[in-house]
Amino acid sequence: MNTMDRVLGGLWGALVGDALGVPVEFQSRSERQADPVTDMREFGTHRQPKGTWSDDGSLILCTVDSLLHAEFDPEDMGRRFVAWMNEGLWTANGEVFDVGAATTGALLRIAGGTPAEQAGGRDESCNGNGSLMRILPVALRFASQAPKTLVECLEKASSITHGHARSKMACALYGLISRNLLLGWKPQAALDATRVEFTGWYERAPEYSHFRHVLCDDFASLAEGSIASTGYVIHTLHASLWCMLTTASYEDCVLRAVNLGGDTDTTACVAGGLAGVHYGIGAVPERWRNVMARREAVGQLFDRFAGAVVAAGSK
């Protein structure tokens, strides 16, 4: 499997995971146990057709678009996020729905003139998963750079909507494991290496203790009952790692994520990004990709971005 396959797998894997979760978002785990999701659904929570992504997917697409046009420019990225919220840029069907409070507040600040890197909330209450859900393209684009550069880009990108240290650290950890998966490491080995790297970067940080379960848990031995699937950034990071490390295919990973209930679209988006990078584009079922909204436009964007990642890695 080559880098192109893994990049496309990650991008499509995240977008498809998001769309799988949209129809059942906010429904309980007991509801999913009684009626598990096994395929792409329509309508449901947000009354959307099959293949509709949410704010997660739109902000991933805006991020990819920005990275292609402006290399890495938080101001450009922030403007595209505002255009999504106000004008529907990179929405699936022209409709903006399910926008998080922290993201809304940050984008209103950007629209009002606040520099993008200063717009994200810095209070402890601003640690939803709204930056984690869109960070994968940054991780893939700068995976070939020095670790310091990669981590700095991940933190700056998070700060556009989520500026608290905990959210930025979560994006860094996710970005580091995504890079290791892109290099072809098996999931457990990628996580082990990431834990060492993350500790080296952040062990002295006041927020480090909040990552103890992500850094220490033996995911393979954890029962589903110990996995939280709320919109809290640490819960989403922990749940997505559990989904990847306790399954053996992309499809099983994202369906496990969706069937945790709760914040189904984001858990499946974040888990699907990891699984897609690991298993490659060929593992993201074609029957799901074929029903995605704006498939041709998205495919062209992703192909261009994957080509840019490959070119950056060859320099």
Please give the pLDDT value at position 107.
98
Burial of 155: CB neighbours in 10 Å, binned 0-12, 13-18, 19+: buried
* pLDDT confidence band for 271 (50 / 70 / 90): very high
Radius of gyration of the chain (CA): 17
**What is the pTM for the complete model shown?**
0.98
Q: Taking a C-beta distance cutoff of 8 angstroms, is the pair 179, 186 a contact?
A: no
Q: How far apart (Å, rounded) are the C-alpha atoms in residues 112 and 161? A: 14
Domain limits for position 235: 3-313
pLDDT in tens, 12-38: 999 999 999 999 999 999 999 999 999
Q: How many domains does the chain have?
A: 1
Please give the pLDDT value at position 309.
97
Q: How far apart (Å, rounded) are the C-alpha atoms in residues 264 and 13? A: 14
pLDDT in tens, 135-163: 999 999 999 999 999 999 999 999 999 99
Burial of 225: CB neighbours in 10 Å, binned 0-12, 13-18, 19+: exposed
Please give the pLDDT value at position 98.
82
Which CATH number belongs to the domain containing residue 255 in this structure? 1.10.4080.10
Please give the pLDDT value at position 314.
78
Q: How far, CA to CA in Å, does 20 sit from each of 15, 43, 44, 144, 155?
A: 9, 11, 11, 31, 28
